Amino acid sequence: DQQVKQNSPSLSVQEGRISILNCDYTNSMFDYFLWYKKYPAEGPTFLISISSIKDKNEDGRFTVFLNKSAKHLSLHIVPSQPGDSAVYFCAASSDSNYQLIWGAGTKLIIKP
Amino acid sequence: GAGVSQSPRYKVAKRGQDVALRCDPISGHVSLFWYQQALGQGPEFLTYFQNEAQLDKSGLPSDRFFAERPEGSVSTLKIQRTQQEDSAVYLCASSLLGPPRGRKNSPLHFGNGTRLTVT
Summarize the confidence of residues A48-53 as an average pLDDT: 95
B107 and A95 in contact by Cβ < 8 A? no
Closest Cβ opposite residue A104 in set B42, B100, B109: B42
Contacts of A95 in chain B (CB under 8 A): 100, 103
Are B35 and B15 in contact, with CB atoms under 8 Å apart?
no
Closest listed residue to residue B45, CA positions, set B104, B108, B97, B3: B108
Report whether pLDDT(A85) > 80.
Answer: yes
Closest Cβ opposite residue A98 in set B59, B103, B112: B103
**B85 phi/psi in degrees, rounded to 5:** -70, -5
- State the Cα–Cα distance between residues A56 and A50, nearest whole angstrom: 7
- Write out residues 14-73 of A within 8 Å (CB-CB) of B: 32, 34, 41-46, 49, 51
Exposed e or buried b per residue across B46-62, where buried means at least 16 C-beta atoms within 10 angstroms of its C-beta: bbbbbeeebebeebbee
Helices marked H in B36-118:
none
Helices marked H in B8-109:
none
pLDDT digits (tens, 9 = 90+) for B36-87: 999 999 999 999 999 999 999 999 999 999 999 999 999 999 999 999 999 9
- Any residues with CB less than 8 A from the CB of A40 and at least 6 apart, and which? none
Are A98 and B100 in contact, with CB atoms under 8 Å apart?
yes
B108 and A46 in contact by Cβ < 8 A? yes
Report whether pLDDT(A48) > 80.
Answer: yes
